[in-house]
Chain A
Amino acid sequence: MYKYDNYDKTIVNERVAQFRDQTMRFLAGSISEEEYRPLRLMNGLYLQRYAPMLRVAIPYGLLSSTQMRMLAHIARTYDKNYGHFSTRQNIQYNWPRLETVPDILAELATVEMHAIQTSGNCIRNVTSDHFAGIAVDEIEDPRPYCEIIRQWSTFHPEFSYLPRKFKIAVSGAGHDRAAVHVHDIGIFLSKNAEGETGFKILVGGGLGRLPHIGVVIRDFIEKKYLLSYLEAILRIYNLFGRRDNMHKARIKILVKAIGAEKFAEMVEKEWEQIKESVLLLDDKEIDRVKSYFISPGYQIDAENDTSFDKNMASNKSFANWVKRNVTDHKAAGYRAVYISLKAPGTPPGDATGEQMDFMADMADQYSASEIRVTHDQNLVLGHVKQGDLFSLWTELNIQHLATPNIGLLTDMICCPGLDFCSLANAGSIPIAAQINKKFDDMDYLHDIGDLQIKMSGCMNACGHHHVGHIGILGVDKKGKEFYQLTVGGSAAMDASLGDRLGPAIAKADVADSIGKILDAYVEIRQEGERFLDTYRRVGITPFKDSVYAE
């Protein structure tokens, strides 16, 4: 993974000093809350319902075991011994004290971490595919480009007071595992007719109040133009994005208002002026950054192991876990392993300090000391030998980190909701608990198969509800929590927005309503057909009838 040199270290250390000074000036009353707000947000610090929340950046979701231990230490020392992994591959602490935040940042800096631009109207942490560098369906590892974009966007002087937040995701694979289609800019590594690798650029995706799927504005751009093209997009957005209404300020609204074609034309015109400038990315720099992301040395005899097949045959629990939580790897005899943060009884995406330390140990022992965060709030060990899977599973089980539910109904995305967030209209975590309670039969969950439930406590859509196969949106109706269901969304290559099922339902009825949707599915599905595919085949009526029947 990327290692800081003295330049990176200096920038992060100077940021810590700057934020310490800003916070001291705020506490001393020399800057107002209104003036401090964007400063703290650009450092991931929110003032929430009960306490501040600090969002720490995990660039493109990649962590070393050393960094994970630091996250555990911060959870124990400054928080209530846990952290929440978010849909943008970051981690959030819910209970730090404002005055300790500069100290937390100083500790993070010692392991090359920070909270820079994890919030605010600026370019946020760049996200990526959690199987980057190991996926079998990959054109090229996207992470070097994520790192190049991270550096270009960090403290970009022109783009730090944008109309609204700005999110970029990059994927190098044939499958979209990073919700690329619902980012302000989505980037796919792609090949042109000559077989050269470059980028396909989408703009205007986003969730929130007015969800949109991103549209392609350029099928192919050479690698050397990556930064100049991004700069052109950002400049057009900075100049022409709406600033009169924060709910209409995202780039998706601009793209929709003037049309994707016109927007692309404006970008191209701007880009023509700057493409051959100092923004030109040279091969030397690309190769330099790539050198940080070379694969760990894989053992060539890893596939000779025979214990894996034996354990698969003899232990049904292990086999179930492998079926759901273990995936293929580009290296023979290796697998990628999901660590499920969706155990029944815990808020989705949460991990305790002990679990974090433990996962760091597992990464050291089994997976090249590296951990990845997924956008659906699980973790991945990316380089596990098949012969180690059984012992890894045994150890994960003890820490309640081996729930075999990846991609199943209980592998929900869930925002912090009304329990923590000052924007929320309704709780999310209690609904996750309700769903876990109702659907506690693993055989049923496996029978239902691939099903993504995504839940947000308000229309800001941090829980990506629009792109859930089943989406749950918390709404406030005269002071009571209600939930609006959507069906048919997807954040994959076939991205789509869910359709509203009907009137919002009462809090107590959410899990039962999902049960009714699934009853309809079981009745009408064809052999081997996923829920989403059944929905796309038959439409909304049978599901609506099942939930709203008198």
Chain B
Amino acid sequence: MRIIKNNQVQDDEWSLIVTVDSGDTIPDGDIIIPFKYWKENQTTLDNRVGKTAICINGEDRIEDIVSFITQFDLIALEFPAFKDGRCYSHARLLRDRYKFEGDLRAVGDVLRDQVFYLNRCGISSFYIRDDKDIEDALNALKDFTVTYQTAADGALPVYKLR
């Protein structure tokens, strides 16, 4: 699967498992799995070959996952609809407050015109929706060269530069 990361489009090895039930067989390899499933099936998942990452959405509370985050190289934030802005706050909390240093990935209804803001909130990689041109979405990272306020990107408020 191709993603945007480090200002470029690149191939990626993680497999995103969007829905999973308790009886399902989990494949080997690097997978991203819903947080709730991970929490209930940690031992099984640990016995697999491959890395495990979690996916959270706006319904999850960051406080509930904080104690686990050092275990993960990647946390995915799911946007069921691009207008659901809760994960923008989740991303900032994970980066600014809880100092998560791994990859924060936007998944779901992720479109070009939200990429700039998502990136500023600390999201570091993007699965762009299948039917969209991922190369075009890359351009969004350059939409603005100046920003007024601080965010997870550590930008100083512009007034401090004046």
Contact = CB atoms under 8 A, between A and B. Distances in A.
Given A157-B118, A161-B85, A285-B160, 17 more contacts: A5-B162, A15-B144, A35-B111, A35-B113, A155-B117, A157-B151, A158-B151, A160-B88, A161-B82, A161-B83, A161-B88, A238-B88, A238-B89, A239-B86, A239-B89, A278-B156, A278-B160
Contacts of A273: 97
Contacts of A157: 88, 116-118, 120-121, 147, 149, 151
B161 interface: yes
30 contacts: A7-B146, A7-B162, A15-B144, A18-B143, A30-B133, A35-B111, A39-B113, A151-B149, A152-B148, A155-B117, A156-B149, A157-B116, A157-B120, A157-B151, A158-B85, A158-B117, A159-B85, A161-B82, A161-B117, A235-B89, A235-B92, A238-B86, A238-B88, A243-B58, A243-B86, A278-B150, A278-B156, A278-B157, A279-B150, A285-B160
Contacts of B149: 151-154, 156-157, 227
A152 B157 contact: yes
B148 A11 contact: yes
Nearest to B91: A158
A10 B117 contact: no
B148 A161 contact: no
B159 interface: yes
A159 B117 CA distance: 9
A157 B154 CA distance: 12
A155 B147 contact: yes
A509 interface: no
Interface of A: 5, 7, 10-11, 14-15, 18, 22, 30-31, 35, 38-39, 121, 151-163, 227, 235, 238-239, 243, 273, 277-279, 285, 288
A22 B159 CA distance: 29
Interface residues of B, number: 36
Contacts of A156: 148-149
Nearest to A35: B111
B148 A10 contact: no
Contacts of B144: 11, 14-15, 18, 155
Nearest to B85: A161
A266 to B, nearest CB: 12
B159 A161 contact: no
Contacts of A30: 133, 136
A155 B148 contact: yes
B130 interface: no
B84 interface: yes
B114 interface: yes
B98 to A, nearest CB: 11
Main secondary structure of the interface of B (DSSP, over half): loop
B145 interface: yes
Contact of A10 (B146, B156, B160): B146
Contacts, number: 102
A-B pairs, top 7 by smallest CB distance, nearest first, are A161-B85, A157-B120, A157-B117, A151-B148, A158-B88, A278-B150, A285-B159
Given A39-B113, A158-B151, A288-B162, A14 B145 contact: yes
B18 interface: no
A121 B83 contact: yes
Nearest to B159: A285
Contacts of B162: 5, 7, 288
Name the residue among B88, B97, B111, B117 with the largest chain A CB count within 10 angstroms.
B88
B17 interface: no
Interface string B82-123: 111110110010000100000000000001011011101100
B65 interface: no
Contacts of B83: 38, 121, 161
A10 B146 CA distance: 7
A278 B144 CA distance: 21
Nearest to A280: B157
B158 interface: yes
A278 B152 CA distance: 11
A279 B155 CA distance: 11
Nearest to A237: B89
Contacts of A277: 150
A309 to B, nearest CB: 47
A149 to B, nearest CB: 11
Contacts of A158: 85, 88-89, 92, 117, 121, 151
A157 B157 CA distance: 13
B82 A35 contact: yes
Contact of B113 (A7, A22, A152, A288): A22
Contacts of A7: 146, 158, 161-162
Contacts of A121: 83, 85
A163 B81 CA distance: 12
Given A152-B157, A278-B156, A288-B162, A160 B117 contact: yes
Contacts of B86: 238-239, 243
B156 to A, nearest CB: 7
Given A35-B82, A273-B97, A14 B143 contact: yes
Contacts of A22: 113
Contacts of A238: 85-86, 88-89
Contact of A14 (B113, B120, B146): B146
A235 B116 CA distance: 19
A30 B111 CA distance: 12
Nearest to B151: A157
Nearest to A22: B113
A18 B92 CA distance: 24
Nearest to B120: A157
A227 B162 CA distance: 18
A160 B133 CA distance: 23
Contact of A151 (B117, B145, B156, B159): B159
Contact of A154 (B113, B148, B150): B148
